[in-house]
C-alpha cells in the first residue's frame, strides 16, 4: 500500500509538471515488480493526437522494452483512465491500475470521461456514434491465414 501511494504521488507530480508546461493534468507510471518501466504525461498539446494520453504513452514506452504483453504490470495514473486507456490495459494484460482522481473530481473542470463510459455501455445501435456492421466474407480467410502463420511460430 505504501508503494501504491509513492507511485501515485509520482504520477500526480508528473501531472502537475505537465500543467506547468502547457499540458493537461495527467501523468502515469507503469511499474513491474517494483521497477518503474515508464513515466509519461498527456501529450495531446504537443502532438495534436487525441490518443496521446499518459497511460497510453506509458504502455507504448513499456511495450518497446517488453513487447506487446504487459502481464504483471501496474499502471498508476493521476486521473481515472478513460475507456480507450482502460481497453488498452485489458488488451495488453496490465494486471492492475491505481488512480488518484475519479471522474467526479474532473467533471467540474471538463475532465471527466463518464459520458464516454455511458455511451460504450449501450448496445452498438443505441450509441450516438453511427456504427455499421457490413460483413465481408473474405475476412474469415484473412483471419485463417493469420492463424496459420502464427501457429507455425
Catalytic (active-site) positions: 55
Q: Give residue for cell 492492475.
A: 96
Q: Do the strands 73-79 and 27-32 form a parallel or antiparallel pair, or are they unpaired?
A: antiparallel
The helix/strand/coil state of 116 is helix
Let me know how long the chain is: 153
Class of residue 27 by CB neighbours under 10 A (exposed 0-12, middle 13-18, buried 19+):
buried
Amino acid at each position: 500500500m505504501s508503494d501504491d501511494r509513492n507511485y501515485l504521488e509520482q504520477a500526480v507530480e508528473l501531472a502537475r509538471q505537465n500543467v506547468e508546461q502547457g499540458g493537461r493534468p495527467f501523468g502515469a507510471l507503469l511499474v513491474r515488480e517494483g521497477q518503474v518501466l515508464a513515466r509519461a504525461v498527456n501529450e495531446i498539446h504537443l502532438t495534436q493526437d487525441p490518443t496521446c494520453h499518459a497511460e497510453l504513452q506509458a504502455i507504448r514506452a513499456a511495450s518497446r522494452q517488453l513487447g506487446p504483453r504487459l502481464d504483471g504490470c501496474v499502471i498508476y495514473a493521476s486521473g481515472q483512465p478513460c475507456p480507450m486507456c482502460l481497453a488498452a490495459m485489458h488488451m495488453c494484460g496490465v494486471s492492475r491500475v491505481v488512480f488518484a482522481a475519479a471522474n467526479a473530481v474532473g467533471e467540474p473542470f471538463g475532465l471527466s470521461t463518464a459520458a464516454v463510459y455511458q455511451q460504450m455501455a449501450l448496445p452498438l445501435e443505441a450509441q450516438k456514434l453511427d456504427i455499421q456492421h457490413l460483413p465481408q466474407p473474405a475476412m474469415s480467410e484473412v483471419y485463417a491465414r493469420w492463424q496459420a502463420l502464427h501457429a507455425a511460430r
